[in-house]
């Protein structure tokens, strides 16, 4: 039986779902894959809980952490209630498995602050699984980014399926094409479920402002819808796809169309929502022109092996799979030398805690039965983290 120790970084919506799925399914992994999976630590901005036992943190503690975080409690609050003392998030004991064990950090946080943990674990012989896009979007001149991307290639110990399309097999499909010698001509994708839902409503005749408010009410947007409407999230996904196919490019080089008027970027959320209809007339005109041409507006990322990269609103032929997309789904259309006349398409729900967590855990199992099984950690002392 192979011991796999997980370090869960970020215990929000996605991180909490990861922990719950581990608890629900590790008996299956023990039976079918001969893997004994335990959560050795949970890490948040305000500290970390680290297991004293090789089996990991107790189930009741993990469930209490997830439940507490969902009600807004801090990790310190939950720890205090259960008689535990959290350690600093950068404590050196995090990420040091006993000899022979596989250690995998799951980074479901937001922002690049966790990149240091990811790099330290890789340096100690462990694996990294990301849903957090920010570390992979760091500047190419940043040594941290270089270390992460070195580990992200064929047979590497960093996996990042959940950064582009939640649980959809976008990265693994692209990786399989590249590893078998195919060449990418173009990738086009609707990579935001939020913007997909908004533009489906716009195509159905709703004003842009009503579509934005409806998306927020249905829980599709971030608490501040401008986080989605800025296009930055889609730009990061486009950057990750571009770097996966070998482009050395930075975020600032991508042309990004923001749907947030400059004069509304710094106002409060409520004021923004009250004034978002100021953009209705212009968007309605674009939607009408697209409809007259048999097209529909979609927020699209376009990635090619060379030339400019762009994300923004495009009028897409409704006869294509991309143009026919409805609601909060994602679709990625990959055109290659082999898949030229008929591109390879990956479509489905591109957001949601359950599918994102499942995508991360699929990467965990691939690492645990692949690169980490082939190259076990030699010793805890040799892994300074």
pTM comes to 0.92
Name the nearest CA neighbour of 174 among 320, 66, 342, 335: 335
CB 341 within 8 A of CB 314: no
The C-alpha atoms of residue 138 and residue 43 are separated, in whole angstroms, by 21
What are the residue boundaries of the structural domains of the chain, listed by start? 2-166+354-374, 180-350
**Could you tell me which residues come within 8 angstroms of residue 248 by beta carbon, excluding any fewer than 6 positions away?**
140
Architecture of domain 180-350: 2-Layer Sandwich (3.30)
Q: Which of these, 101, 94, 25, lies nearest to 372 by C-alpha position?
A: 101
What pLDDT tens digit does each residue of the chain (385 aa) get? 899 999 999 999 999 999 999 999 999 999 999 999 999 999 998 889 998 888 899 999 999 999 999 888 889 888 888 788 888 877 766 766 555 678 999 999 999 999 999 999 999 899 999 999 999 999 999 999 999 999 998 889 999 999 998 889 999 999 999 999 999 999 999 999 999 999 999 999 999 999 999 999 988 888 899 999 999 999 999 999 999 999 999 999 999 999 999 999 999 999 999 999 999 999 999 999 999 999 999 999 999 999 999 999 999 999 998 998 888 889 999 999 999 999 999 999 888 889 999 999 999 999 999 888 865 554 433 333 3
- Per-residue H/E/C for the chain: CEEEEEEEECCCHHHHHHHHHHHHHHHHHHHHHCEEEEEEEEEECCEEEECCCCCCCCHHHHHHHHHHHHCCCCHHHHHHHCCCCCECCCCCCCCCCCCCCEEEEEECCCCHHHHHHHHHHHHCCCEEEECCCHHHHCCCCCHHHHHHHHCCCCCCCEECHHHCCCCCCHHHHHHHHHHCCCCEEEEEEECCHHHHHHHHHHHCCCCHHHHHHHHHHCCCCCCCCHHHHCCHHHHHHHHHHHHHCCCCCCHHHCEECCCCCHHHCCCCHHHHHHHHHHHHHHHHHHHHHHHHCCEEEEEEEEECCCCCCEEEEEEEECCCCCCCCCCCEEEEEEEECCCCCCCEEEEEECCCHHHHHHHHHHHHHHHHHCHHHHCCCCCCCCCCC
Q: Give the residue numbers annotated as catalytic, written as ranges.
A: 237
The domain defined by 2-166+354-374 folds into Rossmann fold (3.40.50)
């Amino acid at each position: 039986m192979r011991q796999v120790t997980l370090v869960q970084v970020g215990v929000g919506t996605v991180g909490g779902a990861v922990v719950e799925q581990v608890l629900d399914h590790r008996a299956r992994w023990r039976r079918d894959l001969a893997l004994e999976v335990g959560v050795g630590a949970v890490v948040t901005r305000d500290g970390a809980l680290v297991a004293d036992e090789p089996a990991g943190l107790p189930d009741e503690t993990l469930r209490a952490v997830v439940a507490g975080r969902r009600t807004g409690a801090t990790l310190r609050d939950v720890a205090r209630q259960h008689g535990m003392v959290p350690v600093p998030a950068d404590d050196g004991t995090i990420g040091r498995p006993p000899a022979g064990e596989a250690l995998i950090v799951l980074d479901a946080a937001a922002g690049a602050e966790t990149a240091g943990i990811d790099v330290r674990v890789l340096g100690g012989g462990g694996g990294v699984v990301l849903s957090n896009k920010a570390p992979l979007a760091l500047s190419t001149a940043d040594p941290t980014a270089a270390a992460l991307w070195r580990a992200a290639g064929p047979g590497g110990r960093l996996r990042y399926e959940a950064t582009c399309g939640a649980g959809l097999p976008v990265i693994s499909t692209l990786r399989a094409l590249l590893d078998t010698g195919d060449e990418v001509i173009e990738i086009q994708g609707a990579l935001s479920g939020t913007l997909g839902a908004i533009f489906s409503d716009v195509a159905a005749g709703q004003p842009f402002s009503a579509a934005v408010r409806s998306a927020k009410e249905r829980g599709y947007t971030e608490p501040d819808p401008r986080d989605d409407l800025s296009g930055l999230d889609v730009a990061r996904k486009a950057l990750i796809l571009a770097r996966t196919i070998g482009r050395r490019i930075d975020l600032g080089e991508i042309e990004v169309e923001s749907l947030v008027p400059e004069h509304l970027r710094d106002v409060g959320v409520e004021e923004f929502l009250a004034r978002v209809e100021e953009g209705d007339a212009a968007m309605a005109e674009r939607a009408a022109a697209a409809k007259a041409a048999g097209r529909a507006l979609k927020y699209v990322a376009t990635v090619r092996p060379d030339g400019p990269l762009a994300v923004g609103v495009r009028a897409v032929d409704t006869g294509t799979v991309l143009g026919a997309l409805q609601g909060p789904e994602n679709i990625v259309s990959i055109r290659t030398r082999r898949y030229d006349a008929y591109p390879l398409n990956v479509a489905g729900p591109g957001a949601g805690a359950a599918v994102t967590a499942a995508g991360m855990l699929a990467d965990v199992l691939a690492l645990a039965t692949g690169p980490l099984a082939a190259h076990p950690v030699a010793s805890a002392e040799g892994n300074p983290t």
